[in-house]
Amino acid sequence: MDSGDVTQLKIGFIGAGNMAFGIAKGILSWKVPAGNLKVSAPSDTNLQRFQEVGVAVTHSNVEAVCGSDVVFVAVKPHLVPVVLSEVFGSVTKDQMIVSVAAGVTLATLEELLPEASVAVRLMPNLPCVVQEGALLFSLGSKAKREHSVLLRSLLQGCGLVEEGPEAWIDVHTGSSGSGVAFVYLFAEALAEGSVKMGMPSALAHSLAAQTVLGAGRLLRDSGKHPAQLRSEVCTPGGTTIYGLHTLERGGVRAATISAVESATDRARELGLKSATAKRN
């Protein structure tokens, strides 16, 4: 595989859920032709949206693997042993198999794949759909630096792409993967607070969405620590410090930390379940 021109790569997807669609949208945004992608799923439920953007669809996982340079395994964790057993005879040493299944370890993937297979574990998040994802990946034992370069290049249209040790993947799942839903919950509550104080619902939700977007972009682009930006919004005796005091009394900080911890622990539990399924 040549990492110099990702537009020539053939990309297969096993699974057609939100994660697969988000990655596909990000890849397509980076001038990879839709004709280079193929996605498989057992039913037509999620395939239509892929067809609408020009991606070929099939009900055969083997067909999605054959001829692909990179294959994304985007199924639920307990299904990974099933689908990899199905395509085992079609996987070649020249392909890169990228799993986005929460909790499924590289060791498990490598045991489920042919001996010389290149396995990568990737955790994206849903904002890949709008090219603002946060993605972290770890390389398997057979992967080389060229595979890292290629994957970064292929996924750069999805958002921020970073590489790290596998121990961080489950943490990233709990923080950036599940964290998207945590942010939505906060945005919903922010809007509901405005509605309670008399603002029309549609306007309240629109302003809450823009507030979350603007705060996120400022946090990312300024390079400042969140605490520093927070302090810049506060003025002595002003509205913000009163509101922050209320949030702290409600335990929002502790609850958020606990939420990330719970989601991370669950990702690890899913990994143990997938390993058990593999042995059975």
- 151: tokens are 């994957």
Taking Cα atoms as reference points, which of 96, 175, 100 lies closest to residue 137? 100
In the prediction, which pLDDT does 189 show? 98
Annotated binding-site positions for NADPH:
61
Annotated binding-site positions:
14-19, 61, 74-77
Q: Are the CB atoms for 72 and 13 separated by under 8 Å? A: yes
- 28: tokens are 């397509």
- Give the Cα separation of 107 and 135 in Å (integer): 20
Tens-place pLDDT, residues 101-122: 988 999 999 999 999 899 999 9
Phi, psi of 137 (to 5 degrees): -135, 155
In the prediction, which pLDDT does 274 show? 62
Q: With 60 as the cut, is the pLDDT of residue 279 above it? A: no
- Give the Cα separation of 265 and 267 in Å (integer): 5
Tens-place pLDDT, residues 199-250: 999 999 999 999 999 999 999 999 999 999 999 999 999 999 999 999 999 9
Whole-prediction pTM value? Answer: 0.89
Query: Average pLDDT, stretch 3-26?
Result: 89
Q: Are the CB atoms for 38 and 65 separated by under 8 Å? A: no
Domains delineated in the chain: 6-165 (3.40.50.720), 177-267 (1.10.3730.10)
In the prediction, which pLDDT does 203 show? 98
CA distances from 97 to 16, 81, 106, 120 (A): 16, 13, 11, 6
Annotated binding-site positions for NADP(+):
14-19, 74-77
Neighbours of 157 (CB within 10 A): 20
Give the sheet arrangement for strand 96-99, strand by strand: 56-58, 37-40, 11-14, 70-73, 96-99, 118-123, 133-139, 159-163
In the prediction, which pLDDT does 275 show? 62
Helix (H, G, I), strand (E, B) or coil at 104: coil
Element of type H or E holding 101: none
